[in-house]
Amino acid sequence: MDTESVLNIGFDDTDSPTGMCTTFLAYKIVDLLQKQKTEFLDFPKLIRFNPNIPWKTRGNGAVSLKIKTNQPSKIKKQIKNLVSKYSDTKNGANPGLVFFESDSIPSEFTKFSNLALWQLINRNNAKKFVKKNNLDFYYEGNGQGLIGAISAIGYDFSDHTLELLSYRKKRKFGKERIISADSVKKMQENTFPYTFNSFDTKKSRVLIMPHGPDPVFYGVRGENVNSLVTATKILQSNEKLDGYMIFKSNQGTGDHLKNELNSKTMKPYASGTLIGIVSNTPKIAKGGHVFFTVTSKNHEFWCAVYKETGISTIASNLIIGDKISVGGGVRKASKNFPRIINLEFIKIISLEKNLSKTNPICKKCDKKMKSKGRNQGFQCIKCGAKNLKKTTIEIPRKIKKQLYIPKISAHRHLTRPSQRTGKINKTIAFDNSQSWFCVYEK
Ligand code: ATP
């Protein structure tokens, strides 16, 4: 028998657009480990990495587990078998699996993970990483999944949320999902502010259900275990589900935008934030998308705000001189466009006065004077009073000094919803007695 050790297990890229889901594989692995009475040291983690990388299936999520075991070799073998069995490699999955035996996570892991959150990493660097650190690993296909697998182990939370994912029975995979929209609305009302982004009240749309063929029935995001478990009791559906698992996550934290975009870091597909001054008048393109430039540290950056975000009107009301902070993902240059940041938020730091010159008003008649011709001043047509100069008026601004984020239906997994503004959740201690994992009775 091996000696007792702490085992970190990271895996990713087991799914394809046509099926499976890395979190479902995690559910299967946890089920197996629970049956063997394995001790869990933390929630399973569902970490979302850079949402702008081109080859993600959906939300660029990877999973890690932390357990205590005196049978690490046996467990590693079992997990390798499950990863191999459940990965949809025929349809393009490139699974990666990494084991790391230690209670503490070295800074190399954290650095790698931080980079995966906002930049593009070459998969050869992941292969070098596992070899250099002498890790036990496994991959299929091109090994792209190793990036998420390493990073999910190394993620250092500065804030976190939880997500309860419920899974369907196998015979239901690919079939339509039916849930009572009223129950979702009610659940959101009853659990606010401890759950978020479940129901779009403006559009009366359910936001907790995926639409693809994967095994997830719904996912409820929130701040603590009790609220999520309460939510499952309020939600109503006739479908008999297989079970659920609660993940600790960086969803809703906005963490992918915490790094600065500048002339060096603004590489294609990077995500981040910059502070600058609006340096040209925003242009509204066909379809309502808005384009403008921001100057920051003597560099000009192009920004795009798509109509679908619901904040394109905010962008169109910016003027030259406004100081703003913007965050988003870098789209690589194309034939027609330079490198551009697709904005995920606009925070207005200070607003320039919008001044405009206009013909003077006659003090006596309160009427706008008429120009007498070039450089000849102005005259009131009613009383004949004269004035030489135009007057300056201030046009009220339509936007305020505040943070503007996309509408709820345009949120990404990592978007920090407005109800989480300023919130840092570091306090949920893992408690194995809480119901973070459940397989319903057959
Ligand atoms: P789901 O959300 O359903 O789990 P997904 O969107 O996570 O699916 P994956 O199939 O996991 O899609 O594909 C993402 C791939 O990108 C993985 O192989 C992962 O290792 C890799 N990856 C993650 N972050 C980066 C990064 N910053 N640079 C390069 N590759 C990355």
One-character DSSP codes across 208-264: S---SSSSEEEEEEESSHHHHHHHHHH---SSPEEEEEEEEE-TTS-GGG-SBP-TT
Any atom of ligand 1 within 6 Å of the Cβ of 255: no
Containing 274, the helix (H) or strand (E) segment is strand 271-278
Ligand 1 atom showing the smallest separation from residue 50 Cα: 27
Q: What is the distance in A from the centroid of ligand 1 to the CA of 280?
A: 36
* pLDDT at res. 336: 82
* pLDDT at res. 330: 98
For atom 14 of ligand 1, the residue with the nearest CA is 56
Residue 391's Cα: distance from chain center in Å? 48
Q: Which of 352, 356, 358 is nearest to 397 (CA)?
A: 352
For atom 23 of ligand 1, the residue with the nearest CA is 148
DSSP state of 43: -
* pLDDT at res. 119: 97
Which of the listed residues 14, 53, 86, 146 should we mutate to test ligand 1's pocket, taking the one with most ligand atoms within 8 A of CB?
A: 53
* pLDDT at res. 428: 74
Q: Distance between CA 44 and CA 141 in Å, rounded?
A: 25
* pLDDT at res. 88: 87
Which of the listed residues 147, 155, 412 should we mutate to test ligand 1's pocket, taking the one with most ligand atoms within 8 A of CB?
A: 147
Topology (CATH level 3) of domain 161-249: Glycinamide Ribonucleotide Synthetase; Chain A, domain 4 (3.90.600)
Ligand 1 atom showing the smallest separation from residue 214 Cα: 3
Which amino acid belongs to residue 67? I
Burial zone of 133 (CB within 10 Å; 0-12 exposed, 13-18 middle, 19+ buried): middle
Q: Is 40 left (phi over 0), alpha (psi -120 to 50) or beta?
A: beta
Q: What is the pTM of this model?
A: 0.94
* pLDDT at res. 326: 98
- Low-confidence spans in the chain with pLDDT less than 50: none
Query: Residues 198, 184: contact at Cβ < 8 Å?
Result: yes
Any atom of ligand 1 within 6 Å of the Cβ of 61: yes
* pLDDT at res. 356: 94
β-bridge partners, 371: 378
* pLDDT at res. 337: 83
Quick one: how many helices (H) and strands (E) in the chain? Answer: 8, 25
Any atom of ligand 1 within 6 Å of the Cβ of 56: yes
**Do 5-156 and 255-353+395-413 share a fold?**
no
Any atom of ligand 1 within 6 Å of the Cβ of 55: yes
Query: Residues 346, 311: contact at Cβ < 8 Å?
Result: yes
Q: What residues does each domain of the chain span?
A: 5-156, 161-249, 255-353+395-413, 359-388
Ligand 1 atom showing the smallest separation from residue 61 Cα: 7
Which of the listed residues 22, 60, 124, 259 should we mutate to test ligand 1's pocket, taking the one with most ligand atoms within 8 A of CB?
A: 60
Residue 338's Cα: distance from chain center in Å? 24
Tens-place pLDDT, residues 136-187: 999 999 999 999 999 999 999 999 999 999 999 999 999 999 999 999 999 9
Q: Distance between CA 210 and CA 217 in Å, rounded?
A: 7
* pLDDT at res. 2: 61
Q: What is the distance in A from the centroid of ligand 1 to the CA of 107?
A: 22
Which amino acid belongs to residue 197? N
For atom 30 of ligand 1, the residue with the nearest CA is 121
DSSP state of 207: -
Q: What is the distance in A from the centroid of ligand 1 to the CA of 187?
A: 31
Q: What is the distance in A from the centroid of ligand 1 to the CA of 58?
A: 8
The CATH number, out of the four listed (3.30.70.2200, 3.40.50.280, 3.20.20.70, 3.40.50.620), of the domain defined by the range 5-156:
3.30.70.2200
Q: What is the distance in A from the centroid of ligand 1 to the CA of 392?
A: 55
Torsion of CA 191, 195, 197, 199, to 10 degrees: -20
- Those residues whose C-beta lies under 8 Å from the C-beta of residue 383, and which sit 6 or more positions away, are 362, 364, 365
Q: Distance between CA 144 and CA 141 in Å, rounded?
A: 8
Topology (CATH level 3) of domain 255-353+395-413: OB fold (Dihydrolipoamide Acetyltransferase, E2P) (2.40.50)
Any atom of ligand 1 within 6 Å of the Cβ of 326: no
* pLDDT at res. 27: 97
